[in-house]
Amino acid sequence: MGGISNLKAMATLNQISMDLINIVRGGLSSDDELISQRQIKFWIHNTRAQLITQEINKHRSISDNIIQDLGCINVSATDASLCCNVPVGCTITRTDVPIPNTIATSVRDLLTRVGPVDISAPSYTLVPYQRAAWIGRGRWTKKYHFAFLHKNYVYIVGPKSDFFKKVNIQGVFENPTDVKAFNTCTNMPCYSDDSEYPISVNHIETMKQIILKNNFKIEAVAPTDVAGDAKANLEMSVQK
């Protein structure tokens, strides 16, 4: 098996997955590669999530490199009932659409910012859903805004929050590709597989080594079409 390549600069998901294929195939990969890039990207997402979880569980800070910005999300006042057809008569402000799954650690869910669209304005205070019934009721806290996550929707509580139209949301998401469902101000997807992959540079090589050891240990001996002509002239991808 070839050695670990050195991707020192920020890399895209496509670059990382192709780099793994080239390492395993000794540079003999082709357009007819039998190991699905979709499968490799799944391994990349899972391993990234594991590495991030380990870091945060050690109470280390969250790197800006792993945070993704969903842009400006529409919010509106909705009935506060937990049941679809049983209104309770009071409203709460909620995102119009669910957001992607955030990485959950032993410390907290990695929702890193919910706040006004003004970059200079302070964000709302993030609290666990379990505290939602008590937030904003204290003498000193009722003038502040709070946000919590429940079933992938973000809720905002605070003075005049019923009049909010948009909020900015940022976080560390389990599958970074889910962010492509959200658009920038220029109506372009917030993510593509050719965007910088949200992982710290010093974790790229660690992630690749884990995937090569844990996931490719069987698939690495699968045949590949070395001629690249979609015919059955396959060779086993093992070191000679």
Per-residue confidence in pLDDT tens, the chain, 240 aa: 444 444 445 799 999 999 998 888 775 555 555 578 899 999 999 999 999 999 999 888 888 999 999 999 999 999 887 777 767 778 899 999 999 999 988 878 899 999 999 999 999 999 988 887 777 666 666 788 999 999 999 999 988 888 899 999 999 999 999 999 998 877 888 999 999 999 998 899 999 999 999 988 745 444 444 444 444 343 434 333
Per-residue confidence (pLDDT) for residue 24, from 0 to 100: 84
- Only one residue has tokens 């059955």, namely 232
99 contacts 191 by C-beta, under 8 angstroms: no
Q: Name every residue whose Cβ is closer than 8 Å to that of residue 91 and which is 6 or more positions away in sequence.
A: 77, 78, 79, 80, 162
- Other beta carbons within 10 angstroms of residue 68's beta carbon come to 21
Whether this model's pTM surpasses 0.85:
no
Per-residue confidence (pLDDT) for residue 22, from 0 to 100: 87
Q: Name every residue whose Cβ is closer than 8 Å to that of residue 116 and which is 6 or more positions away in sequence.
A: 123, 167, 168
- Only one residue has tokens 């993030």, namely 126
Which parts of the chain fold into alpha helices (H)? 13-25, 37-57, 201-214, 216-219
Per-residue confidence (pLDDT) for residue 88, from 0 to 100: 74
DSSP 148: E
194-222: burial string, b at 16+ Cβ within 10 Å, e else: ebebbbbeebbeebbebbbeebbeeebee
C-alpha pair distances (Å), 153 with each of 126, 156, 174: 13, 10, 16
Per-residue confidence (pLDDT) for residue 210, from 0 to 100: 94
